[in-house]
Structure formats: structure tokens, C-alpha cells
Amino acid sequence: MLSETKLNVLKQISVDLSRDEAIWASGYLAGLAGGTTLTAALPPQQIDHSIQNTVKKITLAYGTETGNSKKLATSLAGIIKKNGIQVKLTDLSQYKAKDLSKEEFFFVVISTQGEGDPPVLAKKFYDYIYENEINLSNLKFGVLALGDSSYPLFCKTGEDVDSRFENLGGQRIIPLKKCDIDYEQDAQNWIEHVFEAVNKTSGISSKNATVQKVSTGRKKYQGKISAILNLNDITSEKETYHIEIETEEALVYQPGAALGVLPFNSKTIVEEIITLTGIDPKKQISTSKITDTVEELLHRYLNISYLLKSVVAQYSKITGHSIPEVRLSLLDLLRIYPVKNAEEFEDVIQILTGQAPRLYSISSSPEAHGENEIHITVAKSEFFIDHEKHKGLCSGFLSEFNEGEDVEFYIQDAGHFKLPEPDKDIIMIGPGTGIAPFRSFLWERDAVGGEGKNWLFFGDRNFVSDFIYQAEIQDFLKTGSLTNLDLAFSRDTAEKIYVQHKLEQKAQEVFYWLEGGASVYVCGTKDPMSRDVEDTLLNIIQQHGKRSKEEALHYLEEMELSGRYAKDVY
């Protein structure tokens, strides 16, 4: 019998054990009673001595912008550890690239941003490996690249890192894997190949490796449109919609996060495609990821609006047409370069990429608007091709919703684009719909009573017709939640004034805020707005900080690495 003291200790230890932990503990105690050692009671994956003794350690590094690469790498690291391999998980923003030559096994999970750019926090690593001749002859590596196939430079950063490692003498022991938006299955296959490659290289069997299912962690929410309002005046050339969505399920997000929507293609366009090709709309067809009728595949699941050049090239091979290197919609392709028959169009369906979700900065605050309501700000995109008016797929899809209609969405974590502590100052630069996350920031800080100062630079075409959220912003200014406000309306003056010009006008005060620890956020179009704003910030740091160009670059880079300079640009 145990003494009362020992019994109380055992009770304290066991009270929070799960069922599996309790079973293991009972086996362990039974083993002690029988004179066996601790390892006899351990699960097989924890005592795979052949792996532990042969592979000392692998490094798994991630480069992330929105947090996907980090979440995936963390999940993969957990799986690797459970299979008895020691793994070092590291962020490329913190990794010392000069240590690469000392690594034995090095695996990278990295995303691509915008026009083939590396994630902001991984750029220093990316530049280092391209600017230095490192001897990687001892390195065995593999790269998992995340991207969005709706962009022409799909997974370019991953391709660059993979090829550079090889050029520096590294041994690629697993082929580059390029993953689209839905990367769950591809990541699953990749981690299985990692085990095979590591074990093969080490001369041991991988029969004991057990690979759990990889989860993307993307939770789908069902909501109803509770309000939809055009924020622009009737005299404006633009349409910007404030859209509110209500849910029964509680929402979890931080200011700075984005809402992802998978848009549907126009049924009118789908009907035109079906008519042109003569295909049976009810015919069931299996693609690489889904099986459904032709009309549902074209309406809900496949990208038909703006095909990649690679898809157009494959279309050319199938149909036998000589087609220049262009990007066209499927409907335009069929009109100009028609298929011979419905059977040939079935082959075309197989080469179409999946519909990619579109992300919109969330413009509501969980603290101010509650856990069952979420807002986005959407600019309706319209353009002309050969004198024919077209609209942006997702912006048109969202702006034409009616109150009460259902919508499915998910939430993309804020990643690096998130508020600092409530007592820290922030500078927000967001013309047009770039104001969306800053509306979220201001509502959040107002709701929690944050003591940090808040400075907003906003601009658009005309004050009267395009000052979106004007009443709210002016109220924040009156109550003190917004400390400073600078506006730039480019069409209201003879000389066009943009937000970067307003930054220049307040250069000395802006630098004073930077030196005081303020964080700077930029949201909106990448070209030319974000580049012009960054150039202006560098000039301010040079002039008012009395620094050289190189020192100013380093100053801004340090702000970026520490999370004090963040961009959400598109």
C-alpha cells in the first residue's frame, strides 16, 4: 500500500491525465514492478533507435508573410518529432544564413508574394544566399513552396531557393514541391517523401515512420449578408462596398486579418461556354480534385476568368491552334480558337486550374463589433477589353449579393500585419480600400481604450464623392481615438497630391514618431503607391535622421524585422 503522502502525490499527478496518458502511465508503473526499464513502456515511434542514432538532427525553416508557412511547418515539425527524429524549427527571419554550411539536413517551407517576391521577413535570407558564394557541399535539402496558381509567377520564391541551394553545391534529396492555395494533400505527400529521403540517405528503413494527416487549419464559416452599402457618392466614378456578414458561430480573428471568399463564375458565361462547345451540362466529370457536373465545375470550382499562360499553352496543344503567349478568359479562347467538339472540350476541362480564393482585409473589430459579425470593404473592379465592359470576378460576385443571402468564407490570420500593444503609437497609410484594416485598428483601439497615439494618412480621388467612412473617421478624431489625420484627394487640386506627399509635408513629425517607437503600416496597391511611400520613408529617415542611404535602408529593415513596419499590398 502507498503512504497517504505518496497517494496524494499520485492523485495530483493523475487528475489531468488523458485516457492515452493514463494507459501509458499504468504500463510504465507495471514495467517498474516487473523490473523493466522506462523504454520498454514507451510507444514504438519514441524508441526508434535506428533513426535516433543515425540522424542527429534536421532543420525545418519557414518563410512566411501571412502565417501559412509557419503553421504548416509547425505541424510538420510535430509529425517529424513523433517519428523519432530531432527537428529544429526556425523562422528564416531569425536564421543565421552563414550557418547553412554547417547543416546536414535542411528543409524549407516558403511562400511567394505578389509578383514572385519572397516574404518580407525572409528577404534577408533570400538576398544572402544569392549575394554570397556559400559552400553547401555537405547540405542535403528539400523545398516545399506555397503559392497561388492564379498568379503567373507561381511559387517562384520556392523555385529560386531550390535552384540556388543546388548551384551552391547542395544535394537535393527530395524534389521541389509546389503547392497551391489548398495545400493539404501536397504537404502530406511531401512530408512522407521527407521521411523516405532522410532514411534512405542515412541507410535505414522507414517502415516505422507513421505520418499523421496534415491540417491546413482553414476553418470554413457560414454567414448571411446583413448589410451591403455603396460608400461612394452617386457622383463618383467608383463603387466601394461596405459588406457586413453575420454568423451563428463565434468568429475568432485579430485586427489586420483577412477574409477569404471563393467566388463563383457567372452562370451567364457558363451557359455561353456550354453552348459554344456543345457539351452536356449535366455530364459528370472527374478532375484531379473533384467530381461534379460540367455546369457545376465551371460555375463553382474552376478558374475560367483569366487563364494562366501555361494553361493557354496547353489549350493550344489540345486544340491544335497556334496561339500567342497571352492570358485570356476561357470564353474568349473558345470564341477565337474554338474546340472541334464536346469530347475535345472535356480534355480542356482537365487542364483548368481550381478557382482560387480572394482575400479582403477585414474592416471590423472583434472587440467593437462582437464575435458574430464581420465586415469587409470591397472596391468593384470594372474594365474594358475590346470596348466590352468586364467586371472583376470576386468584387463583382460580392457587390451583387443581397441582404439575407448566404456566403461561405474563411479567415486568414493577420501574420505580421497586426496591432502592437495598446500603449504603442501607430502610423497608418492606406488610400482607397487600403483603409479597411485601419478601420479595424481604430475600432479595436477605441473599444479597448488603448493609450497609444494613432495617425492616419488617407487619400482617394475626390473629397466629396470618395471619402469613404468619413463620418466614422471624423468621430474618431473628435473623441481622440484618432490623434492625427492627413488627407490627400488627388483630383481636387491642379497638381495631384497623394499620401506620400502628405508624408513629406509632415516629415519631421513622422521621424519623431519613428524614433519614439511608432509602428508603420501600409495597405493598398503595391505599384506605385507602396513603393512611393517606402521611398518617402527612406528619404525622411535619411534627412531627419542624418543617415546615409545604406543606413536608412538598414533602419527600415530593422523596423520590418521587429514587426514595426508592415505592408499589406496587392
pLDDT in tens, 376-428: 999 987 655 555 655 667 888 898 889 999 999 999 888 789 999 999 999 99
**Cα-based angle 149, 154, 160 (whole degrees, multiple of 5):** 160
Answer yes or no: is pLDDT of 298 > 60. Answer: yes
Same domain, 304 and 381: no
What integer pLDDT is reported at residue 288 of this predicted model?
Answer: 80
Same domain, 170 and 275: no
Same domain, 182 and 276: no
pLDDT in tens, 105-128: 999 999 998 778 898 889 999 999
- Residue at 261: amino acid letter: V
Q: Which residue has the cell 519623431?
A: 512
Answer yes or no: is pLDDT of 524 > 60. Answer: yes
Same domain, 241 and 379: yes
Answer yes or no: is pLDDT of 356 > 60. Answer: yes
Same domain, 229 and 378: yes
- Residue at 450: amino acid letter: G
Between CA 7 and CA 370 the distance in angstroms is 47
Answer yes or no: is pLDDT of 523 > 90. Answer: yes
Q: Is residue 186 part of a domain?
A: yes
* Rg (the chain; Cα; Å): 27
Q: List, in sequence order, every beta strand (DSSP E) within 413-554.
A: 426-429, 454-460, 484-489, 519-524
What integer pLDDT is reported at residue 415 of this predicted model?
Answer: 78
What integer pLDDT is reported at residue 92 of this predicted model?
Answer: 93
pLDDT in tens, 416-459: 899 999 999 999 999 999 999 999 999 999 999 999 999 999 99
What integer pLDDT is reported at residue 391 of this predicted model?
Answer: 65
Answer yes or no: is pLDDT of 69 > 70. Answer: yes
What integer pLDDT is reported at residue 6 of this predicted model?
Answer: 53
pLDDT in tens, 246-285: 999 999 999 999 999 989 999 999 999 999 999 999 999 9
Average pLDDT, the chain: 86
**N-term to C-term CA, the chain:** 69
What integer pLDDT is reported at residue 570 of this predicted model?
Answer: 82
Same domain, 91 and 183: yes
Q: How far is CA 167 from the centre of its chain?
A: 29
The mean per-residue pLDDT over the stretch 533-538 comes to: 97
- The cell numbers describing 23, all together, are 494507459
Q: List, in sequence order, every beta strand (DSSP E) within 168-219.
A: 171-172, 177-179
CA dihedral sign of residues 537, 540, 542, 544: negative
Q: Is 33 helix (H, G, I), strand (E, B) or coil?
A: helix
Q: Which residue has the cell 534577408?
A: 124
CATH for 140:
3.40.50.360
Between CA 277 and CA 266 the distance in angstroms is 17
Same domain, 232 and 379: yes
Q: Is 423 in contact with 450 (CB distance < 8 Å)?
A: yes
pLDDT in tens, 217-238: 578 999 999 999 999 999 998 9
Distances in whole angstroms, Cα of residue 228 to Cα of each of 240, 382, 465, 556 = 10, 19, 18, 39
- Tell me which of 21-25, 141-145, 426-430, 484-488 is least confident: 21-25
SS3 string of 426-455?
EEEECCHHHHHHHHHHHHHHHHHCCCCCEE
Between CA 47 and CA 529 the distance in angstroms is 56
Same domain, 341 and 369: no
What integer pLDDT is reported at residue 397 of this predicted model?
Answer: 87
Domain count, the chain: 4
What integer pLDDT is reported at residue 59 of this predicted model?
Answer: 93
Same domain, 109 and 169: yes
Instruction: Quickly state the pLDDT bin for 71 (edges 50, 70, 90).
Output: confident
- The cell numbers describing 430, all together, are 492606406
Answer yes or no: is pLDDT of 40 > 80. Answer: no
Answer yes or no: is pLDDT of 318 > 70. Answer: yes
| Of 87 and 21, more confident | 87
Between CA 512 and CA 544 the distance in angstroms is 9
DSSP state of 530: I
- The cell numbers describing 466, all together, are 470618395
Q: Is residue 207 part of a domain?
A: no
What integer pLDDT is reported at residue 31 of this predicted model?
Answer: 43
Q: Is residue 40 part of a domain?
A: no
The mean per-residue pLDDT over the stretch 290-317 comes to: 92
Same domain, 291 and 387: no
pLDDT in tens, 152-199: 788 999 999 999 999 999 999 999 999 887 777 788 888 888 888 887
Q: Is residue 47 part of a domain?
A: no
Q: Is 118 in contact with 112 (CB distance < 8 Å)?
A: yes
Same domain, 445 and 551: yes
Q: Is residue 41 part of a domain?
A: no
Instruction: Quickly state the pLDDT bin for 26 (edges 50, 70, 90).
Output: low
What integer pLDDT is reported at residue 400 of this predicted model?
Answer: 86
What integer pLDDT is reported at residue 41 of this predicted model?
Answer: 34
**Cα-based angle 516, 518, 522 (whole degrees, multiple of 5):** 150
Q: Is 338 helix (H, G, I), strand (E, B) or coil?
A: coil
Same domain, 276 and 369: no
Closest CA to 85 of 173, 196, 185, 178: 196
Q: Is residue 102 part of a domain?
A: yes
Between CA 252 and CA 424 the distance in angstroms is 23
Q: Is residue 165 part of a domain?
A: yes
- The cell numbers describing 414, all together, are 493577420
Between CA 547 and CA 559 the distance in angstroms is 15
- Residue at 243: amino acid letter: I
Between CA 186 and CA 531 the distance in angstroms is 34
Q: Which domain range does residue 242 map to? A: 220-252+359-395+402-412
Answer yes or no: is pLDDT of 54 > 60. Answer: no
Question: What DSSP line would sit under 11-26, residue for residue?
Answer: HHHHTT--HHHHHHHH
Q: Is residue 8 part of a domain?
A: no
Distances in whole angstroms, Cα of residue 186 to Cα of each of 107, 176, 351, 366, 466 = 15, 11, 18, 33, 44
What integer pLDDT is reported at residue 269 of this predicted model?
Answer: 93
Biggest CA pair distance of the chain: 93
| Of 275 and 49, more confident | 275
**Cα-based angle 69, 70, 71 (whole degrees, multiple of 5):** 95
CATH for 292:
1.20.990
Q: Is 244 in contact with 347 (CB distance < 8 Å)?
A: no
Q: Is 146 in contact with 305 (CB distance < 8 Å)?
A: no
What integer pLDDT is reported at residue 294 of this predicted model?
Answer: 96
- Count each helix (H run) and each strand (E run) in the chain, helices first: 21, 21
Instruction: Quickly state the pLDDT bin for 7 (edges 50, 70, 90).
Output: low
What integer pLDDT is reported at residue 23 of this predicted model?
Answer: 46
